[in-house]
Structure 1
Amino acid sequence: MAIDVYANNCLLIIAQAHSYRIAPYLKAAYQRGLKPILASNGEYSLIQEVSDGLCIDFNQPEEALEQILQLTQNDVIVGVVGCDDSTVELAAEVAQSLGLPHNPPLAAKLSRRKDLARAHLLQAGCSVPKHLLINIAEFLQQPLSSKYNISFPCVIKPINLSASRGVIRANNNEELIVACQRIQGILADLDVNAELNSTDVAFEQAHALIEDYIDGVEVAFEGYLQNGQLYCIALFDKPDPLEGPFFEETIYVTPSNLSDTLQAMILKRLAQACDAYGLRVGPIHAELRVDGKDAWILEIASRTMGGDCARMLDSNSLDGDNEFTLEALSITLLVGQKVQVSKPQGSRGVMMIPIPKEGILRKISGLDSARKVNFVEKVDIIIAKGHKLIPLPEGDQYLGYIFARADTPAEVTKAIRDAHAKIQFAISPLWEIAPAC
């Protein structure tokens, strides 16, 4: 389904220079008759090798906005996409300046800053865990939980990172101190240009969020907003319990086994939260905890789901188009066209293959056997042999993905587990080089 708005129409894609989301957005843009223009960061960005490109400094948002508007003034921009958490706010500002469909820039900022989001949702009466924003260095000087009214167990997390990076459970004051020290190290080691991209870099590196641990099941939501109305594409169960001390996500499987009542509550809570943010249009990815009392908002992002997980939803129908992707859906919404998406047929699932330990990846075996497991569609390994592996909470990568489809969630989950059990990763330890005498 090509989008025939007018001749030479362009889609502006704002992304990190090495974002894995660039390729699927480029493909979806071309398939819909749009010329993609990439705005990215990095002095030596390779984006011009694959598409027209603009090199932008994300750490200077006002200058970046002016530069984008100036460099594209002769182009017919019909939509603006922010691929990553760190680019959705700038994308909203550009679209607002051009009079195109967009979320308010503040709403986009709330979707990437956990501390601001928590405070905003609490003020709006939404269900969020009890939380506390701390300056990590100041907290470590006098880390008494009674002074800060902290109850255990609790979870401490950076205010702006995704994929469970730096998220740690603490069961007592001693564990909380260790967790704070660990997060402080993670934030200090961040590549500011590639991972924060904000005028608030110093604040984001100095602060963390402490919140109540919610004992319950965790779910992921993938959907979209159209004229402020929230629609669900898929609700994913996470069969592996996420109890800490770290919160590495592994399996997503849909449809959810939760009752219709609980699923309706989740949709209601998410709609309330999106409204509180001010989000109006585009993709929505959310994470929630469901206990016996409520559905608690953990995260709402105004982007598609992370990693290559989105590929398990490919080929659903989009207004008669046989090749649906979440990227195609996002583009269609952000150029102002209406969509109606049917939910996936049967059951689908994916495993984000966890990194078992730190070291150098030396050998991978058992892939052929894993790919032959009944209901497994694909096994992708994305980290090459010889590369360093860093597990959570410091790391932010997975070894790869296992995709499966079947009639039921139980069949999908079993297929993924059986396939994963057949893969062996040989990981050698890291050895520090001794200084020369």
Structure 2
Amino acid sequence: MRKNILFLGTGTYKKNIFKHVGAKNNIYLLTNKTPTWENDFICDYRIIDTFNKLDTLKSAMELESLYGIDGAMIIAEPYVEVAGVIFDALGFPGVSEEVSRNCRNKFEMKKCFINHGVPVAEGFQVHTKDEFIRAALKMDNSFIVKPIASWGSYGVKRVRNKSKKYLEKIYNEIIEHTYRMNKSTVLLVEEYLDGKELSVEALVYDGEVFPLAINDKPTPLEGPYFFDLDYVINFENSQEEEKEIFEITKKALKALGIQNGAAHLEMRCTSRGYKVLEAACRLGGGSIPDAVEKAVGVNMYEQYMNIALGIKPQISKHKLMCAGVRIIYRYKEGIIKAINNVEEVCMWDGIEDISIRVKPGYKIILPPKNYKISLGYIFATGNSLRGVTDLLKRADEKISFQI
């Protein structure tokens, strides 16, 4: 029997979760924009303001009264905090308002981690320009500044110049972005962590954490901006390394209080050991869940759907193949005149999917003016970390954007 599931948000690369869940259940959508492609998968929707929790809750309760909603799923990061209000009010399995606030506010998240012994970078919350400059002067010559609530590395920057004039410039730059995105002027200043970055994809049911896969990020992320380029599921970690990474993941998600849902956690392997950067109570972005299914045989869309309906996920992992995702960027401003070779690359062995979110006529604007600079993604599979990484790189280089 089909169930009625409330989707909290949508996004450019979210079609696969709509497709998977919509094949078995009815989807009702809360979104901050008029649906387009989503109309192929949804039964009804309401337009909401994600900054207005009361009105968002009213919209959710209206859909619940009309259709009898059976559960809810967080689809996109901007909807996390309002999601907690909905889960609390309607009694669905998910995250509470307190937990959702911990997951959205990076300083509250850091405090939760510290209180539970999870290794993190040293950091300070700042509310004014003067506080920012004082915090910056306490840091080493290289440090990170980021919005207190953002996603996708939007507004995150590595700073290596501590002159007052430069710090004032950086502060104004990041504040303009974070207010536009989150209506907030609060920033986080923290130490820069050296070392390789990785992510862990997980599910949580009734407080039990199920880590599924470790994504390597083969391209070093050293700044000044930190846009993830590639995620490749890595089976080449030793058993000891995998165990340590998974144990830190469990500890971090429990520290945040996540009881039910999906999770995406990022950390760095530094010269002082593993350090957690942050965690999100949602699925990883883009085609990461699809890569997890190819690599270990677990359909994260379906299992997250089950969790939302109060059903214990069926987790049976097997190391099947290496799989990865590469985000497409072009670091040149201008108008795209043509996009070439996509169909040819789609035919290559190992290429599973290519999604281009822009069309000719799209204007590329780079940071600090604009942080939404991804043009699409490539999803590939293969026999090794290096093989998939090389394939993704060659595919990216072959796809041509005339700017």
CA distance in 1: counterparts of 2:249 and 2:167, whole angstroms: 30
CA distance in 1: counterparts of 2:176 and 2:225, whole angstroms: 16
CA distance in 2: counterparts of 1:22 and 1:417, whole angstroms: 23
Change (3 A) 1:67 1:239: closer
Q: Which residue of 1 aligns with 2:362?
A: 387
2:285 corresponds to 1:293: no
2:131 corresponds to 1:156: no
State the SS of the aligned residue for 1:340.
coil
Amino acid corresponding to residue 384 of structure 2 in structure 1:
T
Q: Which residue of 1 aligns with 2:336?
A: 361
Q: CA deviation at 1:392?
A: 4.3
Q: Deviations over 1:158-214 (max 9, x none)?
A: 1111111111111230354443232123234x2xxxx43xxxx3xx2x121110111
CA distance in 2: counterparts of 1:277 and 1:230, whole angstroms: 12
Amino acid corresponding to residue 359 of structure 2 in structure 1:
A
In the alignment, is the contact (CA less than 8 A) between 1:217 and 1:289 conserved in 2?
yes
Q: Deviations over 1:325-361 (max 9, x none)?
A: 4322211111011222324511111110123122211
Alignment of 1:135-150 (within 5 A): 135-139=127-131, 143-144=133-134, 148-150=137-139
Alignment of 1:28-107 (within 5 A): 28-32=20-24, 34-42=25-33, 50-107=42-99
Bigger Cα displacement from structure 2, 362-371 vs 154-163: 362-371
Q: Which residue of 1 aligns with 2:176?
A: 185
Q: CA deviation at 1:271?
A: 1.3
CA distance in 1: counterparts of 2:343 and 2:39, whole angstroms: 37
Alignment of 1:304-323 (within 5 A): 304-314=283-293
Q: CA deviation at 1:149?
A: 1.8
Of residues 105, 111, 127, the one that matches 1:119 is: 111
Amino acid corresponding to residue 246 of structure 1 in structure 2:
Y
Q: Which residue of 2 aligns with 1:348?
A: 323
In the alignment, is the contact (CA less than 8 A) between 1:152 and 1:212 conserved in 2?
no
In the alignment, is the contact (CA less than 8 A) between 1:371 and 1:377 conserved in 2?
yes
Q: CA deviation at 1:228?
A: 1.1
Amino acid corresponding to residue 14 of structure 1 in structure 2:
L
In the alignment, is the contact (CA less than 8 A) between 1:237 and 1:256 conserved in 2?
no
2:193 corresponds to 1:207: no
Amino acid corresponding to residue 181 of structure 1 in structure 2:
N
Of residues 6, 14, 19, the one that matches 1:12 is: 6
Change (3 A) 1:57 1:247: closer
In the alignment, is the contact (CA less than 8 A) between 1:13 and 1:37 conserved in 2?
yes
Q: CA deviation at 1:305?
A: 0.9
Change (3 A) 1:84 1:368: closer
Q: Runs (4+) of structure 1 moved beyond 6 Å?
A: none
Q: CA deviation at 1:122?
A: 1.9
Q: CA deviation at 1:116?
A: 1.6
CA distance in 2: counterparts of 1:70 and 1:416, whole angstroms: 45
Q: Which residue of 2 aligns with 1:280?
A: 259
Superposition TM-score, scaled by structure 2 size: 0.90
CA distance in 1: counterparts of 2:382 and 2:124, whole angstroms: 43
CA distance in 2: counterparts of 1:364 and 1:344, whole angstroms: 36
RMSD of equivalent CA atoms: 2.5
2:239 corresponds to 1:257: no
Of residues 114, 119, 132, the one that matches 2:124 is: 132
In the alignment, is the contact (CA less than 8 A) between 2:287 and 2:379 conserved in 1?
no
Change (3 A) 1:349 1:208: same
In the alignment, is the contact (CA less than 8 A) between 1:82 and 1:89 conserved in 2?
no
Change (3 A) 1:353 1:57: closer
Q: CA deviation at 1:252?
A: 0.9
Change (3 A) 1:332 1:208: same
Q: Which residue of 2 aligns with 1:321?
A: none
2:307 corresponds to 1:333: yes
Amino acid corresponding to residue 374 of structure 2 in structure 1:
Y
2:355 corresponds to 1:376: no
Q: Deviations over 1:243-277 (max 9, x none)?
A: 11111211111124333222222211221111111
Q: CA deviation at 1:365?
A: 3.0
Higher-helix-fraction structure: 2
Amino acid corresponding to residue 170 of structure 2 in structure 1:
A
Larger radius of gyration: 1
State the SS of the aligned residue for 2:49.
coil
CA distance in 2: counterparts of 1:59 and 1:417, whole angstroms: 39
Q: CA deviation at 1:36?
A: 1.6
Of residues 393, 405, 415, the one that matches 2:381 is: 405
Amino acid corresponding to residue 162 of structure 1 in structure 2:
W
State the SS of the aligned residue for 1:173.
coil
CA distance in 2: counterparts of 1:101 and 1:284, whole angstroms: 14
State the SS of the aligned residue for 1:73.
helix
The answer for unaligned runs of 5 or more in structure 1 is: 319-323, 428-437
CA distance in 1: counterparts of 2:92 and 2:354, whole angstroms: 39
Q: CA deviation at 1:48?
A: 6.5
The answer for unaligned runs of 5 or more in structure 2 is: none
2:132 corresponds to 1:171: no
Q: CA deviation at 1:419?
A: 1.8
State the SS of the aligned residue for 2:140.
coil
Amino acid corresponding to residue 230 of structure 1 in structure 2:
V
Q: CA deviation at 1:22?
A: 5.5
Change (3 A) 1:317 1:137: closer
| Count of residue correspondences | 397
In the alignment, is the contact (CA less than 8 A) between 1:355 and 1:391 conserved in 2?
no
Percent of aligned positions that are identical: 24
